[in-house]
Amino acid sequence: MKSGETATAKAAVEAPAALGFKRFFRRYSMQIGILFVGIFIWLLFLAAAPRTFLSSSIYISFMSTTPFFALMALPLTYIIIVGEIDLSFPSIMSLGMLAFDVTYTMTGDVWVGFFSCILAGVIAGYLNGVLVVKIGIPSLVATIGTQYLWRGVILVVTNGQGMGMTPIQDTILYPLFVGRIGGVIPAQFAWTIGIALVLWLILNRTRFGAHVYLTGDNIGSARLMGVNVDSTKIWSFIILGAAAAFAGFVVSEEVLYYWPTLGEGYMMNTLASVFLGGTSPYGGTGTILGTFIACFIIGAINAGIVAAGMTAFWTNVIYGLIVLISVSLQAVLIKRLK
């Protein structure tokens, strides 16, 4: 019996090394699949429009525009993993800028404006969280409600009028968020990478991140084991709210104008990025890396459609298909595993 035990102990210790590679592939099969899909699509575009896709300008353009929705898709991954959904983030993009608009006009201080913008996102995210967790409204319904509420508030307050952002151009905020590093790389791309790294670290290496997975996977078990599932969900909404407001700020800076309709058109590409990235619509699984890669695939598809000579109307068809196919694939996979 004793010798048997040590043998198993030894086997258990040796097993990881032998199985590491295989297990890695099984565990990250979805993410590896996405990577290949991305490469495949890239080759397709390369064949369809070699002149566009062989020049560097298209890649610079990716780096400039993909962050606009990637900055939201990354934290939206948390929401989906935790087993909820948020459809209000496009309105929160604009709500943040409304807060900027109002406070900047009052104080003339861009920093006050910037922090009000992020704070508005935090508050909007917190409200989503409270509606879902404390009041008990399904997140789909609650965030459709807040989506329309915030959009309405924005239109009422601004009376549909936008705001020029040119005063920002002279402050540090402009080069900080949308400048060109070395005159080439868009600053927002660096921010996206930085934020992706931080979100990865939080999700995989902190107790909060562990609780995001556990809450989405088995909320009953998480509760029984003393995980504060309520606060885990609320914080996930807060992070997305803050990120959406930040994304709104970056977009407005890039185009140097705040449109009250800011955020419209960001819903589908953001959601598509998360689901294409292998995050399960059933909650409990998903990765930041998958979302990150998927964002650039979505960005490339957008540019590719136009470059390949199709009309931009096709983009909606493609996004719709991407969401449906990636979600169906996961549904089939889950059924097979069970």
Residue 93 near residue 251, CB atoms below 8 Å: yes
Chain positions 281 to 300 lying near another protein, rule: CB under 8 A, are 284-285
Tokens 């068809």 correspond to 317
Q: Please identify which residue in 222, 251, 300, 322 interacts with another protein, judged by CB under 8 A.
A: 222
CA-nearest of 54, 298, 62, 270 to 185 is 62
- Terminal Cα-to-Cα distance of the chain (whole angstroms): 35
List Cα–Cα distances, 160 to 31, 151, 152, 293, in angstroms.
42, 10, 10, 36
248 binds another protein (CB under 8 A): no
5 binds another protein (CB under 8 A): yes
| Sign of the dihedral defined by the CA atoms of residues 203, 207, 210, 212, in that order | negative
Amino acid at 251: V
CA pair distance 254, 235, nearest whole angstrom? 28
16 binds another protein (CB under 8 A): yes
Q: In this chain, which stretch among 49-57, 209-217, 263-271, 325-333 interacts with another protein, using CB under 8 A?
A: 209-217
Of 158 and 287, nearer to another protein (C-beta) is 287
Q: In this chain, which stretch among 64-72, 113-121, 240-248, 278-286 interacts with another protein, using CB under 8 A?
A: 278-286
Of 182 and 220, nearer to another protein (C-beta) is 220
Crossing angle for the helix pair 187-205 and 229-255, nearest 10 degrees? 170
Q: Which residues pair with 185 in a beta bridge?
A: 181
DSSP 132: I
Amino acid at 34: I
Question: Contact letters (x/-) for another protein, 161-200, by CB under 8 A?
Answer: ----------------------------------------
Q: In this chain, which stretch among 94-102, 145-153, 156-164, 216-224 interacts with another protein, using CB under 8 A?
A: 216-224
Residue 235 near residue 208, CB atoms below 8 Å: yes
Q: In this chain, which stretch among 107-115, 221-229, 290-298, 320-328 interacts with another protein, using CB under 8 A?
A: 221-229
30 binds another protein (CB under 8 A): no
Of 220 and 309, nearer to another protein (C-beta) is 220
Question: Contact letters (x/-) for another protein, 68-97, by CB under 8 A?
Answer: ------------------------------
Residue 55, by phi and psi: left (phi above 0), alpha (psi -120 to 50) or beta?
beta
230 binds another protein (CB under 8 A): no
Q: Please identify which residue in 25, 207, 324, 332 interacts with another protein, judged by CB under 8 A.
A: 207
Chain centroid to CA 239: how far? 10
Which residues contact another protein (rule: CB under 8 A)? Answer: 5, 8-9, 11-13, 15-16, 18-19, 23, 27, 201, 204-207, 209-211, 213-214, 217-218, 220-222, 224-227, 280, 284-285, 337
